Structure 1
């Protein structure tokens, strides 16, 4: 028997949850505080990347973060502040930056990412979506020997997990991307990775869900949750009250605020990233990550996107021009024939990515509330893990056997 389900959050996670819940016969409503055409689900690099098996909280990241803190052009910036929630998150993040955590997490990240690739393609085929989707792999481009060593090490870890990854020299890179001038000494190539054009999929998914009867309430912020005996009975927005049998928290970086309503102190910080688009011809046909600069390059449908930086500075949609210029500068250093102009840089947009302390998503129910399923904390991997997360949410609510082992994603895990 179908249930009434309210999903808080209309990004990739919320939409995919709605898709699979509807397929299971549930009556679904989505609430989002925006108009559902902005944010991380629209400005991301579009990667579906099993290659990203190393969580953000990897050995050496905290040390780099401290070093980069005083460099306005650095790819990672953590703003120090005497906020108790931030300090708890930072301590947990620091504890997670170890080799054992990376070993423990790799298989789980691979499994959810590979499942997402399969489900993404299945949705496009089943629903006859026209969304751009390509299987061209991912280049990791390096300009220094130090970066080369790191990337080769990562590729070996990926290979040990059964992913297609190999070292490449400059000659190999020119065979993969023959029509572009690239300043690189070599790198690695992950044939296992795919890419897409995010807004196309989001538009088609919203249209499909509306057609099949999913209800949408946009520009409505959830301001309170009514709870009785450990169960949510209603959600309140500034305009109305909605009741349901089950609720899904897929509100990205805002999930931590709402989780407090049920007495759950979800360790979560917002990580801001930027994107710059150019409609001009770049001749780039294969996605790449500029290793030292941590900038993603994606040839999308009709344009090329450059995305990067991680600013952990709290909830803010402001655009830091210094960071935007850093992305543009890095692009020109690796691709000397590609120079982003002032108009393109002024058109830059940002999105907030929800960061858990250990770099793994929160997927499941908390002991604090029986009918709330949480799906957030995916960091830079929200797009890569979106479809699989949606399916997992549906399985949890439908009381079905989970497609994956969810123990590492448990809501109440200790850090």
Structure 2
């Protein structure tokens, strides 16, 4: 049965949900406070990452976070602040950072990433789009033996999960990436990963959805949500009032602002990431993560993107030049002769990634609201998990059996 559906949020999760919902015959409206051309979905590294099987809430991250708290250039920076929501999230993060919980999450993270990659390739093969998509794998590049051992340990765990992984020496890396001038000891190579140019996909998806009758309300902020007997009865924006049979919350880092209005608690903290675009020849052809610096490098359509850092400091889009410089310095340290210019650094942008305490997104219905489906909290895997999340959302709303077990992603789970 066709339903009238409002999606709050027009990033990769919102658009992917709209894509699969309209395919099921539903009437879809997407509302976003931006103009569908900015945000985390446009400034991310563009990775599809089955390789990223270890959740953000890994053992040792709390200690690293405390150590790096006083270094604004560190890869993972947590701004100390007396905020009750942040403190509750930090405590839940600490409780989630155990070896047992990380181990339990590994197959869950792997399966949804592989499923999402298959869906991207299915969308690409539909001939409705002409976006950039390449599957060249991912190099986890390291400069020290210690980090190399840590990365190979993850690689071996990936092999157990059925992923194709190799531990390459510097000379072996040079054979597959001969002109990039990498200055490294070696790299763990995952052949499972793919990469894209996010802005290409997003603009084409908006155009496609409009052609299929999806309604878009840009630059429109949701100010209130009315709920009656456990059901959302009205969405109130700064411009109008909207009614719907079903509501999808895909507002990323802003999602808790919406759920608070409904009396729901879904712990999320915004993790700011930065990107620098280099629009000149770099001779980089294979995506890489510069492990010690936690910087991602992606050869995109016409430029190379350097992205990274995780800054948990609340919702803001302030550009910290110290963190931008850290990314630029990492590029120079790993790629001999590559110097990111001041003008390139001055054009850096940032995006906010919604981070849950256990590193798994929220996907599904809360028992506290009958017609709300939550799809948020994807942290650094938002781009990778877009189509899978959208497909699962459509299955939930269409009362179909879901392609994956949603229990690990339940919005009501405790930490």
Q: Please, which runs of 5 or more residues in structure 2 have no aligned partner?
A: none
Q: Secondary structure at the match of 2:235?
A: strand
The residue number in structure 2 matching 1:5 is 5
The residue number in structure 1 matching 2:318 is 318
**Could you say what the CA RMSD is over the residues aligned between the two structures, in angstroms?**
0.6
The residue number in structure 2 matching 1:123 is 123
> Matches of 1:29 and 1:124 in 2, distance apart?
24
Shift of 1:260: 0.7
The residue number in structure 1 matching 2:42 is 42
- Does residue 388 in structure 1 map to residue 382 in structure 2? no
- Where does 1:13-412 land on structure 2 (aligned, <5 Å)? 13-412=13-412
C-alpha distance after superposition, 1:205-245 (max 9, x if no partner): 00000001000001001000010000001100011000010
Shift of 1:127: 4.0
C-alpha distance after superposition, 1:328-354 (max 9, x if no partner): 001100002211000000000000000
Shift of 1:270: 0.2
> Matches of 2:337 and 2:121 in 1, distance apart?
34
Shift of 1:83: 0.8
> Matches of 1:330 and 1:78 in 2, distance apart?
20
Question: Where in structure 1 do 4 or more consecutive aligned residues deviate above 3 Å?
Answer: none
> Matches of 1:300 and 1:65 in 2, distance apart?
31
> Matches of 2:128 and 2:211 in 1, distance apart?
14
Shift of 1:266: 1.1
Shift of 1:128: 2.9
C-alpha distance after superposition, 1:152-208 (max 9, x if no partner): 011011111111112111111101101121110012000000000000000100000
> Matches of 1:187 and 1:60 in 2, distance apart?
22
> Matches of 2:67 and 2:168 in 1, distance apart?
29
